[in-house]
Each structure stands twice: as structure tokens, then as C-alpha cells.
Amino acid sequence: MKILVCISHVPDTTSKINFTDGNTKFDSNGVQFVINPNDEFGLTRAMWFKEKQGASVTVVNVGGPETEPTLRKALAIGADEAIRVNTPATDGFSVAKQLANVVKEEGYDLVIAGRESIDYNGGMVPGMLAGLTDANFVNNCIGLEIEGETAKATREIDGGKETVSTSLPLVIGGQKGLVEESDLRIPNMRGIMMARKKPLNVVEPVEAKPETTSASFEKPAPKSSVKLVEPDNLDELINLLHNEAKVI
């Protein structure tokens, strides 16, 4: 089985978010970048398929050279090779078009992408990639088994979960639950050394005009300070929620 794992290069979850150039660009100054957490669950599931059932695992990212350390980390975790599509990730649609081109060129049985990246939260790349490559698609995937050409996937739905069956080729939008958090891997020294020798292929982009553009960013308005209520005066809390905040 040939597996492609799409890797988004995102600010660490603890990052403070700021903007520059008149609030038109994300300020990456001092920000640590990581593998998008939803993608990391998918990468770990791909490693499970590789080790238990036999599979080759390629990781791919659409971005400039600054994303290569993130791809190297994925290689150190155990992916066999990496592809970087050499163009900035602008909007979701153009990223999906670049990824679709890689899928069409190389042919993969299973494509795993995170259900959304934790920076722009667009949540559109896996679905668009499935649409552009005419593959079957399961989003919010929290469980995946593959037997031959048949896949059984569990996905989270509002208020519960459902199990679906489908066939390869398949794109999934993965998330927490796809593997246990304790199964996530930290690259060890041997993995890091081996990653240096693994291929990281840089491919040039196809033409894909952005369908959306970021005009500007803004931060939420600063909050007024908290109103504290004494624990023996909960009537006051109810009064505030009813009459002031008008939420109960």
C-alpha cells in the first residue's frame, strides 16, 4: 500500500499570535513551528500500517524551504521519503490543487491529511483533495482499518460517532482519536540520523490561482477584567448571568 501523509507546518499550540505589515501578514518572529497536530495523528497511523501491514509512507508539504525541518521531523519519525512542493501555501484550494497533482503523478492508495490545520483552520484541504482526485473521502476520522481494497473508518459526528465502509483510493481527514496520544512518537537520535539520508524531493508547483486572499487580520478586543462572586453568594452569579449577560 502506498500512503501519502499531508503535513502542514504550523505554529506550536502555545504560540502567541501576532501580525506585521499593517496586520496583513502572520508574524513568524520567535515562533516555533511543528507538524500540525491533526497531521501527526495521521502520520502515526500511517506508521502503524507500515509496520503491521506493510506500506510505503511519503510525506508532502506545500511551502517554501523554511518548512523542510518539519518534513525532516516526519522522516525522523519514520516516513520513507518527503516531497516539498516549492510554493508558498496561500489558500486551501491552491494547496489542494498542488497536492492533487502530486497524487495524480505518483498514485497513492491512501492519502491522510489532518481534518484542519491549527493556524488558518480552513478545514478544506482533505475534502478538496478528495474532490480533485475523485477518491472516496471520510472526514473527522477517528479510526481506520484497511483490508485489501476495503476500508472501514470511524468518524466523529456531532454528538457521537459512525462507522462507514468504503474502498481505496481513499482520502481521510484525520484527527485526535485516530491513534492514542501516548502512541505519538518523538524522533530519537537514530531516526534523526537516518532522516538525513532519506530523500526530500523538491518539486515545482503547477499553476493554481488562489481562490481566496487574506486582506487583513485582527485580534479579539481586549477583555474587561473578571467579576468575582463569593462562593456563598451564588444568587448574585445567577442574577448577573440572567440580568447582565442575559445568557440564562
Partner 1 sequence: MSVLVYTESEQGQLKKTAFEVASYAKAVADQLGTTVTAVAVNTNDISALGNYGVDKVLNITNDQLTDFNAKSYALAIQQAAEQENSKVVIVSSSADSKYLAPLLAVGLNAGYASNVVATPSSTSPFTVKRSAFTNKAFENIEVNTEVKIVGVSNNAFGLVESMGSASVEDFSPSLPESQVKVESVDKATDKVTIADAEIVVSGGRGLKGPENWGMIEELADVLGAATACSKPVSDLGWRPHGEHVGQTGKPVAANLYIAIGISGAIQHLAGINASKVKVVINTDPEAPFFKAADYGVVGDAFEVVPELIEKLKAFKAQ
The smaller minimum CB distance to partner 1, of residues 54 and 121, is found at 121
CB of 106 to partner 1, least distance (A): 20
The smaller minimum CB distance to partner 1, of residues 82 and 114, is found at 114
> Which residue shows C-alpha cell 519519525?
77
CA distance 105 to 89: 20
Contacts to partner 1 from residues 206-235, by CB under 8 A: 210-220, 223-231, 234-235
**Residue 67 contacts residue 9 (beta carbons within 8 Å):** yes
Q: Sign of torsion, CA 87 91 93 99?
A: positive
Among 21, 160, 204, 243, binds partner 1 (CB under 8 A): 160
> Which residue shows C-alpha cell 489532518?
114
CA distance 194 to 119: 30
CA distance 168 to 131: 14
CB of 124 to partner 1, least distance (A): 4
Which of these segments, 1-9, 49-57, 74-82, 131-139, binds partner 1 (CB under 8 A)?
Answer: 131-139
Contacts to partner 1 from residues 32-91, by CB under 8 A: 37-38, 91
241 touches partner 1 by CB under 8 A: yes
Which of these segments, 1-9, 58-66, 121-129, 197-205, binds partner 1 (CB under 8 A)?
Answer: 121-129
Helix (H), strand (E) at residue 131: helix 125-133
Contacts to partner 1 from residues 133-152, by CB under 8 A: 136-140, 142, 152
